Every structure is written in C-alpha cells, then in structure tokens.
Amino acid sequence: MNVWLTIPLVLWVLAASSVSAATIQFEASVDRTRASQSEPIRLTLRITSDEQLGQVPPAFDLKDFHVEGPATSTRMEMRNTNITFSRELTYVLYAKQTGTFTIGPLQLEMDGEYYQTKPITLEIVRGTSSAQTGQADKPIFVLARADHERAYVGQQVTVSYDLFYRIQPHNVSFNKLPTFVGFWTEDLFIAQQLDSHQEVRGSVSFNVAPLRRVALFPTSAGTHAVGTLAVSCDIPQQRSRRGGVLDDFFAGDPFFGRSRSVLLQSEELQIEVLPLP
C-alpha cells in the first residue's frame, strides 16, 4: 500500500491583462510504514511541474538508514494543450536499528523557492521466526543465527552470519559490521571469499556462504541485542518479459547480462542473559 503525501504549491503571477500560474507538486511515498530491519523500504519522491524540470535533487538526511539509489525516471504528459513534466527518484532504505523513525520533512529548492513534504513515520521492528522462515521466498538474503537464545553471564554464545542465495551474487563486500554491546567478543571466522555449501530452508535449496562467526560472552544479566550485519553486492537484473531480439540473443550470457546493486541486512537478534546461579 502506497502512502502519498502531497503538497501542491501554486505561484500566482498577476498581470494587467491575464493571470498565469506555475504549479509544482512535491510528493513523497513509501511502500510500507512498518518493516523489520532486513526488509527494504522504498521511498519515492515525485516532482511534477508544468515547466520542464532540471536536475533538482531534494535535500534530506537519512542517518538512521542505509540508503541505495536513487533510481530516476522522467515523464511528460500532454492533455489537450496542457503539458506536465514529472521526475521520480526512488531510494531503497534499510533501517540501522529498531524503533520509530521520521523521514522528513524533505525539502526541495526550485527557482529560489523552497517546498517540503510532510514527515513520514516508520516503525521498524525485530524480525520474528515466522518472518525469517518467509525469507525462503527471497532469492538472496543474509541470516543471523545464535546457538543459544538464553545463556548465563560468561557462557559462550556463538553467532553465525550466512549469505543464502539462489542467484549468483558478484562483488560481495561488507557494508556494515555488527556491534555487540554487553558482550566480550572473539572472532572465529571472517570470510575472505564465498565458499558455499547446500542447505534446504522452507523446502527450498540454497547455496549458503558463511560470512562471519563470532563467540560472544555476556558480561551482565539482561536482554542484549546482537547487531546486524550488512553486505552489498551485484545481482542479475530481471529481464522484462517483453524483451527484444537482443534480449533473446544475449539471454544466458553473463558478459552481457544486466545487474543491479543491492544491500542485504540480517535481522537483529536478542539474547536473554541470566545471572549466575
């Protein structure tokens, strides 16, 4: 469900013989207002005017999110004698942590005038076990797993971060390393290259490449968060079903295949730490 926040801005110029109006619309939408940390949120900004648009990137700060993009598109519509120009900028956001966050107001400057949207509130929640099971529907994702969800102070908890994929990724690199507040840590493994094995998850077979394995030793009782790990990579771009002759000719050729960059992030884990008996 898209939620559109629209601010129509009309500049009226009065002349003795006629009235002319330049209409600008600056819209912001998200494809969801509630998501887990590993789920992407698509933020789309749309600028519409009855005058041709130049390069007008909006100004905003999204420090609480990892940001991909933007992907841009332009469009011109003609109805009767009226011409409308529009430009869309689409960003993919991944939250850095759980909580409630506000996007905006986003600000746009055009011809010395400033326009802004209303703020958008997003709720980022922990992924549930059912949500992680649902990852089997995705062709590629990062999964965090702990060998114990409950432990005593000082007891070792081993956390593994693995890349599951059914499509071949390229140029895989660490984008964000996890934090472990409330733990003493010891790295057991950090991947230098992808060495995968087969694993079935939700009746679907995946290649699984270990990314990082770390031993955690809780230093105090309570519920402690195990941070998320994020990687960036290139994956094949899905071709349009109405491809042309060249699409058919080069189909299956990795040299000519198109790709897109994605950011993949694991869920945050919670470890319940008990005091020593």
Q: How would residue 239 be classed by pLDDT, with cut points 50, 70 and 90?
A: low
The pLDDT of residue 165:
95
**What architecture is the 129-241+254-274 domain classified under in CATH?**
Sandwich (2.60)
State how beta strands 120-125 and 34-36 pair: parallel
Lowest mean pLDDT among 54-58, 122-126, 167-171, 193-197: 54-58
User: 129-241+254-274: same fold as 3-125?
Assistant: yes
In eight-state DSSP terms, residue 129 is H
**Average pLDDT for 138-150:** 93
Q: Which CATH number, 1.10.3470, 3.40.630, 1.10.3720, 2.60.40, labels domain 3-125? A: 2.60.40
Percent of the chain past pLDDT 90, that is, above it, reads 36
Lowest mean pLDDT among 38-52, 213-227, 235-249, 255-269: 235-249
Domain ranges of the chain: 3-125, 129-241+254-274
Strand partners, 84: 77
**Average pLDDT for 136-151:** 90
Q: Are 101 and 66 in contact (CB under 8 A)?
A: no
| Residue 212 φ then ψ, to 5° | -155, 145
Residue type, 244: G
The pLDDT of residue 111:
75
pLDDT at residue 20 tops 70? no
Q: Are 139 and 167 in contact (CB under 8 A)?
A: yes
State how beta strands 150-152 and 269-274 pair: parallel
Residue type, 264: L
Sign of torsion, CA 104 44 70 123? Answer: positive
The pLDDT of residue 255:
44
